[in-house]
Amino acid sequence: MQMSMLLYLTIIATGIITLPAITAKYAGNDLWISPIIASLAGFLIVFIAVKLHNLYPRKTVMQYSEDIIGRIPGKVIGFFVLFFYMEITGNVIRSYSEFILTSFLFRTPLIFVIASMLILCAFCIYGRLEVLARCAQFLFPVFILPLFFSIAFLARDFQFGNILPVLENGIMPPLKAAIPPSGWFGEIFVIAFLLPYLADGKKGMKFGILSVLGAMLTLMIVNLAALFVLGMAISNKTYPLMNVIRYASLGSFFENIEAVIMAVWIVGAFVKISVLYYVLTLGTAQWLNLSDYRPVVWPIGILLVQFTYWGVPSEMALGRSDATDFPLYSFFIQLSLPLFLLVIALMRNKYKKKKVGKPVQT
């Protein structure tokens, strides 16, 4: 259950702010269908990760990739995976900070926002996975309740007509628009790093699917809310949810409750960055066969700060890459690589079974 909440927050945290705009660009008013399609990728990845974990119990990707395709190729794959996580963690931190700066604290230096968040995350993962999991669990209501309450307050501004006409241009636009969010659903692959530490290993599949499902529903609701309020103007905004919440009012007294969104955003970003950071440090430690991941937590923190800057002159560049090559990259690392590993592992198992005549012990 803890893991579900962890994964759910990982997928959803940054997605809800920017994704509606990106999907609306391609799908128009059918943007609410895209999360459903995109979540298929999520389900597939959960399935692959759990299957691989069943074949190599109590091991993470870093460990079984070496078992499957040998030491050196395994290390190479491990390096790619690590580099990928390093990069997307950097990107996540960057987009978190940019959002804070452009929406709330205009005069604060970027490095302050980045560093303060990373220090917190480092402390969190330094306390091992259980601390991270408990934080996520405790913060889960803090994330979800304000979000839904503020959407509920919006209800009187809803124009349900905005949803029509459904599927005007056929299924293709929402399909296309599903590509960017599927990049987000791809992040469910962190499950492959968490499964070995789950107290009840058999429930991994259930929890994974539950979190993908939850993320899909939330994205759908947020997309719909944005659509009902903003109509076709969504695609022009960078942060549609923010604009939507600006409409919300509690009675006629509290008119600007976007602070709520900021709180939600910080909480979500915190969990997401912590999870990715954890995966990164754990992966690095296993890649280098270290006895404990904790010594590398802080050094990696420095690298992460540098990766948030590296080659990213501005938020615009980040947004562009989010929409185009990020999903492909994410797919390549989080879907194709594990799929490749799974196929080889299955083949090897079959081959060995024929040869030895009994199940392989790994």
Partner 1 sequence: MWGTFFATMLIVMTIVFLQWPKMKTNPKKDKTAFIVLLVIGLLLSMLDLQYMKGPTSVRQFLFKPFVEYMQKYLF
Partner 2 sequence: MIRNSKKLLKNKGPKQQSVTDQNTKSQETLQKDFQQNVNMFRSIYLDCSDVIFRSFRIFGQMDAMIIYIEGLTDTDLLDWNVLSPLMKMEADEAEPPGIDWIKNHLSISDTKKVNLVADCIESISAGRPILLLEGELYALSFGLTKFEKRSIDEPEAEKVIRGPRGGFIESLQVNTSLLRRIIKSPAMKIKTMTIGEYSKTSVSLIYIEGIVSPPLIEEMESRLKRIKIDGVLESEYIEEMIEDNPYSPFPQFLSTERPDVVSASLLEGRAAILTDGTPFALIAPVSFFTMLQAPDDYYDRYIIRTLIRWLRFVFLFAALVFPALYVAITTFHQEMIPDALLISIAAARENVPFPAFVEVLLMELMLEALREAGVRLPNQVGSAVSIVGALVIGQASVQAGLVSAPMVIVVATTGIASFMIPRYMFGYSIRMLRFPLIILASVSGLLGIMLGILAIVIHLSGLRSFGAPYLGPLAPLKTSDLKDVLWRAPMWKMDTRPHFNKETNINRQAPHQEPGPERGGRD
Binding site for partner 2 (CB under 8 A): 1-2, 100, 104-105, 108, 112-113, 116-117, 120, 123-124, 127, 130-135, 137-139, 253-256, 258-259, 262-263, 266-267, 270
Closest to 273 in 3D by CA, of 299, 238, 308: 308
CA atoms of 199 and 244, how far apart (whole Å): 40
Distance of CA 295 to the CA centre of its chain: 25
Site for partner 1 in 86-145 (CB under 8 A): 86-87, 91
Closest to 78 in 3D by CA, of 89, 91, 88, 68: 68
Site for partner 1 in 185-224 (CB under 8 A): none
For residue 39, the partner it binds in partner 1, partner 2, none, with Cβ less than 5 to 8 A by kind, is none
For residue 351, the partner it binds in partner 1, partner 2, none, with Cβ less than 5 to 8 A by kind, is none
Q: How far is the CB of 85 from partner 1 (least distance, A)?
A: 11
Task: Select 76 or 111, whichever has its Cβ closest to partner 2.
Answer: 111
CA atoms of 125 and 18, how far apart (whole Å): 26
Among 139, 230, 307, 335, binds partner 1 (CB under 8 A): 307
Task: Select 251 or 357, whichever has its Cβ closest to partner 2.
Answer: 251
For residue 329, the partner it binds in partner 2, partner 1, none, with Cβ less than 5 to 8 A by kind, is partner 1
- Residue 350's CB is within 10 A of a number of other CB atoms, namely 11
CA dihedral angle for residue 244, residue 249, residue 255, residue 260, rounded to 10 degrees: -60
**Using alpha carbons only, what angle is made at residue 175 by residues 169 and 177, rounded to the nearest 5 degrees?**
95
Q: How far is the CB of 9 from partner 2 (least distance, A)?
A: 13
Residues 6+ apart with CB under 8 A from 73: 65
**Residue 250's beta-bridge partner residues?**
254
Task: Select 144 or 219, whichever has its Cβ closest to partner 2.
Answer: 144
Q: Per this entry, what is the length of the chain?
A: 362
Residues 6+ apart with CB under 8 A from 45: 185, 186, 188, 189, 191, 334, 335, 338
Among 54, 298, 353, 356, binds partner 1 (CB under 8 A): 298
Among 164, 291, 354, 357, binds partner 1 (CB under 8 A): 291
Check residue 233 for interaction with partner 1 (CB under 8 A): no
Check residue 302 for interaction with partner 1 (CB under 8 A): yes
Task: Select 40 or 346, whichever has its Cβ closest to partner 1.
Answer: 40
Check residue 299 for interaction with partner 1 (CB under 8 A): yes
Check residue 271 for interaction with partner 1 (CB under 8 A): no
Site for partner 1 in 138-177 (CB under 8 A): 172, 175-176
Supply 262's token pair: 């900021």
Task: Select 2 or 284, whichever has its Cβ closest to partner 1.
Answer: 284
Note whether 121 and 273 are within 8 A (CB): yes
Distance of CA 293 to the CA centre of its chain: 22
Check residue 235 for interaction with partner 1 (CB under 8 A): no
For residue 26, the partner it binds in partner 2, partner 1, none, with Cβ less than 5 to 8 A by kind, is partner 1
Check residue 288 for interaction with partner 1 (CB under 8 A): yes
Note whether 347 and 69 are within 8 A (CB): no
Check residue 26 for interaction with partner 1 (CB under 8 A): yes
**Using alpha carbons only, what angle is made at residue 268 by residues 262 and 271, rounded to the nearest 5 degrees?**
140
Check residue 336 for interaction with partner 1 (CB under 8 A): no
CA atoms within 13 A on the CB side of 72: 0
CA atoms of 253 and 244, how far apart (whole Å): 18
Task: Select 1 or 167, whichever has its Cβ closest to partner 2.
Answer: 1
Check residue 70 for interaction with partner 1 (CB under 8 A): no
CA atoms of 275 and 140, how far apart (whole Å): 14
Helices marked H in 56-109 = 61-69, 71-103
Task: Select 27 or 154, whichever has its Cβ closest to partner 2.
Answer: 154
Query: Rule CB under 8 A: which residues touch partner 1?
Result: 26, 83, 86-87, 91, 172, 175-176, 179, 284-285, 288-292, 294-296, 298-300, 302-303, 306-307, 309-313, 317-318, 321, 324-325, 328-329, 332
